[in-house]
Structure formats: structure tokens, C-alpha cells
């Protein structure tokens, strides 16, 4: 036997003596109760844990030390043990908690989820979330289950984690995101203040009214609203105090001096309620700029309407008196006066359709000639560019065209089928010259007397030094030269 062989044998004997001593120590520890479980390694199954006490006693100390609710079940779903944290979680007395009571406390959905977890438990832990109760008092639990060894049998260890705080925090965060999205999408200015009147949220419209980012400033500092009509007694913080006392405010007009153009705003405010208490104030500021502009426009229009009605009534009276002075019979007066009023009304109607802004000459000609001419296109020729004139000139021009058309129907070009009217427009320094020329009608001679129609034609546009008209009775047809003041023409 060589020395090498002797050395190996001695080493093997030493290893056997060491293992024998370890086995004797384990047997002694088992006999004296110092070991709860053994871990045995083998090539087939790897590590296996064998508890020595049996039941669940070896787990109790560990489970009671846990902050989470914990319970042990056998493979059939029977409750073997539950720690104090679980009894507190499901609000059941320690001595009253058993399997049926626990399943009842979890509700129908929770009980089903727990049974499914126990049935499906395997070395890889599985979990499910359940909700106990409803509304603000709902409790959310995360139940996780995993396989464990109970003596020579297997069971299931289950933990119950209260995740209510996390769920509620997520809901609050989602509510905050939703509120911010609504705030950002609101067209009107919306401001949220805390109980101290400090702005905590504001959308883009509110920042525009403040002239800067108002968050972090008090409402007064950020907006400095001017409550004209409150005699200086009310400031921004005053109405916040009123709202804080439980009285909402609606529809107070103010001026936001820091906005572009110092906009008029309509202020409303109410308490921001969360649960049963107020945590601040919500203020809305509606931009009244368009409404105020519309009101001013309406006042201007009312004034203009009043002015026009008075002028029109005065014109009607004048037409009535002048017509009466030139007509010899009541029937003649009725026809002449009615025709002139209808002519005046026709021009008014066209102007009204255009909101009394302006009107083209061709539109006036078409309106005034319509009662007398069936085929206007063949009887009226326009030469030169059409022009757009203001109401004052339009009314006067309409009366002139009515008198010319009436005369042409009785004695001139519109009295026969072959006659027509040529109207030309030419620009001059201080007026636009509109020429009315009758073509193809009977021969014309100077009238023996001057009627009111002639007066209407020559005087209607004399409200301006640049306006007026002249009437010439040429042999081949009447010619009327009308001067429309340049200030009454809409320049392109």
C-alpha cells in the first residue's frame, strides 16, 4: 500500500466520523425539541422540507409577527389558523373567526376569489384584488396564496393586504387629472382657490385675464378686479369670504384691468366641496367683451334707427305736402303720393336686407324699375363700373330713379316696346357722375310746367355740396345727370 493510498483512506475515515457526529447532534436536537423542520436534499426531488411538530404550530409565531393579514388553509379550504391582523382587517372578533365566518365577511365575490386561489395554489404565488363594501367606506384587499407544507401534508398560506389607501390615492390622482383636463378645456376662465384665497389652479383663459400665471398668488393680487358699481367697498377677497361663509355668488360684473383691453367679466363663485366640507372656492370669469360690444352696437343701432325714423317721417310729410300742392285731384294725389312712398319703401327694404350698410346702384335701379319693366335685362343697359353707396345717398337716388321711371313710362322710352334706358357711371374729383339716358323712345319736348317730380330729382342729393342732379329734355330722349357725393361711395 502506497503512502498516497493511506492518505486517502485516512481522509475518508475523518469525513465519515464528521458526518456521524453531525447525525448524532441532529438526533439529540430532535429528541430535545430544538428543531421544527428538516431540509433534505436528494437528486430526484431537490430540497424537501419536513416539519416535525405537525399542524400549524410552527407557523404561529411567524404569522402573528406579520403586519399583513395571514391565514393557513388545508387543501380542502378549511381554515386552520388566522392571525390577529386578519381578524382586525375583516372586523371579526378573534374567538369568532372560523372558515364560514371569514368567507361571509369577504362577501360573495371575495369568497369565490379566495376559494379559487386555494384550489389553484402552487409553489408560484397567485393573487387577486377584491372589494369589501361600497361607496366611500369600501375596503380593498389584495389576497395572495401560495403552497406550504403542513407536517407530511400540503396546505395553502394566504395573505390579505389592505390596499385601500393605494386605491383611494389612485382615484384621487385620476380625479385630479380629470379635473385638470376639464379645467384646461373650459372656454371660460376658471380659477380654484384654497381656504386662504390663494390660487391653486387656473386655466389658460384665467391666466390671460390675470396677465400672468396666477398660481401661488392670492386672488386679489392675481386679478385685481375692479367692481365698479360697488363704490369701492367690495374687493376680490370680499366675495371669497362670502362664498366661504356658505353663500354662492352669481353674475357680478367687474373689470379685469390686467387683461388685454381691460375686459369686462361676469364673476361667479361657489364653495369647492369634497365630502361634507369645503376645501376652497371655484371662481368663473366670463368674458363679456363681445356682449358689451353687442350692447354698444345695439345702442348705436337704436339711436340710428330713431334718427332714420324721424328723417323718414319728415321726408314722408314733405312728399305729402309737395305732392298735394302739385296735384289737382284727390285721385291724382293718391296715385302720385302712393307711388313715391312705395319707391321709398322699396329702397328701405333693400337696405334693411343689407343691415343698412351699403347698396349697389344696379340693385336700386332693378328695385325701382321692377314695377314697370318685365324684361329688365333688355330694357336697362349699365355702362361703366357699378358703385356701392351708403344709405343716405341710396334713399335719395331711389327717389330720383322712381321719378325718372314714372316719367319714362308715361311719356318716354319705357312707353314703347323698343325703348330702353342706358345708365353710365364715371368718377370725378368730388363726386361720381351717374347719367340716365332714354334711348329709342318718342321725341321729347320741354314740359309746359314744372311739377314736384322735377323738384325731387333736382333737390334730393343736395344735402351735400358735391351732390345734386340736372334734367335735360333732349329731342331724342330725356337725360338726367346725377352727382353722388364721393363721401357716400364705398371705395374699393
Give dist(CA 102, CA 115) in Å, integer.
11
Percent of the chain with pLDDT over 70: 81
Give dist(CA 388, CA 151) in Å, integer.
107
Cβ pair 96, 111 in contact under 8 A: no
The answer to which of 5-9, 121-125, 269-273 has the lowest mean pLDDT is: 5-9
pLDDT of residue 12 exceeding 60? no
> Would you state the pLDDT for residue 355?
77
- Split at pLDDT 50, 70, 90, the class of 388 is very high
> Would you state the pLDDT for residue 29?
54
Which residues are 49's β-sheet partners?
39
Spell out the domain ranges in the chain.
Answer: 1-29, 51-167, 186-287, 313-490
Give dist(CA 271, CA 282) in Å, integer.
6
Cell of 401: 330713379
Average pLDDT over every residue of 126-133: 84
- Split at pLDDT 50, 70, 90, the class of 30 is very low
- Split at pLDDT 50, 70, 90, the class of 50 is very low
Cα 398 from chain centroid? 48
CATH of 313-490, one of 3.60.150.10, 3.40.50.10610, 2.40.50.140, 3.30.565.10: 3.30.565.10
Could you name the CATH architecture of 186-287?
A: 2-Layer Sandwich (3.30)
Give dist(CA 405, CA 68) in Å, integer.
103
pLDDT in tens, 272-328: 887 667 778 888 888 888 887 787 888 887 877 777 777 777 777 777 876 777 777
CATH of 51-167, one of 3.30.450.20, 3.30.1360.120, 3.40.50.1220, 3.30.70.370: 3.30.450.20
The answer to which of 136-145, 210-219, 237-246, 326-335 has the lowest mean pLDDT is: 237-246
Average pLDDT over every residue of 123-143: 80
Task: Please tell me what DSSP assigns to residue 488.
Answer: G
- Split at pLDDT 50, 70, 90, the class of 429 is very high
> Would you state the pLDDT for residue 484?
94
Query: pLDDT higher for 400 or 155?
Result: 400
> Would you state the pLDDT for residue 427?
92
- Which range among 32-36, 251-255, 297-301, 473-477 has the greatest average pLDDT? 473-477
pLDDT of residue 443 exceeding 50? yes
> Would you state the pLDDT for residue 55?
46
Which SS3 state, helix, strand or coil, does residue 231 take? Answer: coil
> Would you state the pLDDT for residue 42?
47
> Would you state the pLDDT for residue 7?
54
- Whether 186-287 and 51-167 are alike in CATH topology: the answer is yes
Cβ pair 432, 484 in contact under 8 A: yes
Query: pLDDT higher for 375 or 32?
Result: 375
pLDDT of residue 43 exceeding 60? no
Give dist(CA 395, CA 349) in Å, integer.
11
Residue 152, burial from CB neighbour count under 10 angstroms (0-12, 13-18, 19+): exposed
Average pLDDT over every residue of 255-264: 86
- Split at pLDDT 50, 70, 90, the class of 397 is very high
Cβ pair 351, 394 in contact under 8 A: yes
- Split at pLDDT 50, 70, 90, the class of 150 is low
Give dist(CA 337, CA 323) in Å, integer.
6
The overall average pLDDT reported for the chain is 79
pLDDT of residue 39 exceeding 80? no
Query: pLDDT higher for 403 or 300?
Result: 403
Cβ pair 479, 437 in contact under 8 A: yes
pLDDT of residue 444 exceeding 50? yes
Cα Dmax for the chain? 171
Amino acid at each position: 500500500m502506497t503512502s498516497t493510498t493511506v492518505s486517502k483512506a485516512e481522509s475518508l475515515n475523518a469525513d465519515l466520523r464528521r458526518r456521524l457526529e453531525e447525525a448524532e447532534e441532529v438526533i439529540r436536537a430532535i429528541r430535545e425539541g430544538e428543531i421544527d423542520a428538516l431540509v433534505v436534499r436528494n437528486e430526484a426531488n431537490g430540497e424537501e422540507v419536513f416539519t416535525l411538530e405537525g399542524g400549524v404550530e410552527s407557523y404561529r409565531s411567524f404569522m402573528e409577527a406579520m403586519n399583513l393579514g395571514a391565514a393557513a388553509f388545508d387543501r380542502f379550504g378549511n381554515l386552520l389558523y388566522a392571525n390577529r391582523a386578519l381578524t382586525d382587517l375583516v372586523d371579526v372578533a378573534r374567538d369568532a373567526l372560523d372558515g364560514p365566518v371569514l368567507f361571509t365577511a369577504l362577501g360573495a365575490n371575495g369568497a369565490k376569489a379566495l376559494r379559487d386561489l386555494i384550489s389553484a395554489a402552487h409553489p408560484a404565488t397567485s393573487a387577486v384584488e377584491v372589494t369589501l363594501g361600497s361607496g366611500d367606506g369600501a375596503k380593498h384587499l389584495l389576497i395572495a396564496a401560495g403552497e406550504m407544507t403542513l407536517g407530511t401534508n400540503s396546505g395553502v398560506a394566504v395573505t390579505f393586504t389592505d390596499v385601500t389607501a393605494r386605491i383611494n390615492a389612485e382615484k384621487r390622482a385620476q380625479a385630479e387629472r380629470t379635473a385638470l383636463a376639464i379645467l384646461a378645456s373650459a372656454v371660460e376662465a376658471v380659477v380654484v382657490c384654497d381656504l386662504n384665497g390663494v390660487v391653486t389652479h387656473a386655466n389658460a383663459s384665467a391666466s390671460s385675464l390675470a396677465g400672468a400665471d396666477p398660481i401661488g398668488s392670492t386672488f386679489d393680487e392675481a386679478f385685481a378686479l375692479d367692481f365698479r358699481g360697488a363704490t369701492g367697498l367690495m374687493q376680490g377677497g370680499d366675495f371669497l369670504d362670502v362664498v366661504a361663509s356658505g353663500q354662492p355668488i352669481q353674475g357680478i360684473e367687474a373689470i379685469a384691468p390686467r387683461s388685454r383691453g381691460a375686459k369686462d367679466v361676469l364673476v361667479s363663485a361657489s364653495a369647492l366641496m369634497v365630502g361634507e366640507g369645503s376645501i376652497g372656492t371655484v371662481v368663473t370669469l366670463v368674458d363679456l367683451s363681445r356682449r358689451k360690444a353687442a350692447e354698444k352696437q345695439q345702442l348705436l343701432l337704436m339711436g340710428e334707427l330713431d334718427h332714420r325714423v324721424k328723417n323718414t317721417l319728415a321726408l314722408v310729410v314733405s312728399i305729402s305736402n309737395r305732392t298735394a300742392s302739385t296735384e289737382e285731384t284727390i285721385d291724382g294725389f293718391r296715385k302720385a303720393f302712393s307711388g313715391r312712398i312705395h319707391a321709398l319703401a322699396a329702397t328701405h327694404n333693400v337696405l334693411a336686407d343689407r343691415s343698412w350698410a351699403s347698396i349697389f346702384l344696379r340693385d336700386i335701379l332693378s328695385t325701382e324699375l321692377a314695377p314697370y319693366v318685365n324684361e329688365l335685362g333688355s330694357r336697362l343697359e349699365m355702362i361703366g363700373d357699378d358703385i356701392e353707396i351708403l344709405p343716405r345717398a341710396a334713399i335719395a337716388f331711389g327717389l330720383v330713379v322712381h321719378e325718372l321711371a314714372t316719367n319714362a313710362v308715361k311719356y318716354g322710352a319705357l312707353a314703347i316696346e323698343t325703348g330702353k334706358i342706358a345708365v353710365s357711371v364715371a368718377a370725378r374729383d368730388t363726386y361720381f357722375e351717374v347719367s340716365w339716358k332714354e334711348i329709342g323712345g318718342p321725341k321729347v319736348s320741354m314740359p309746359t310746367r314744372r311739377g314736384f317730380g322735377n323738384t325731387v330729382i333736382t333737390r334730393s342729393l343736395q344735402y351735400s355740396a358735391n351732390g345734386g342732379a340736372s334734367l335735360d329734355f333732349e329731342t331724342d330722349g330725356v337725360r338726367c345727370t346725377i352727382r353722388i357725393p364721393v363721401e357716400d361711395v364705398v371705395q374699393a
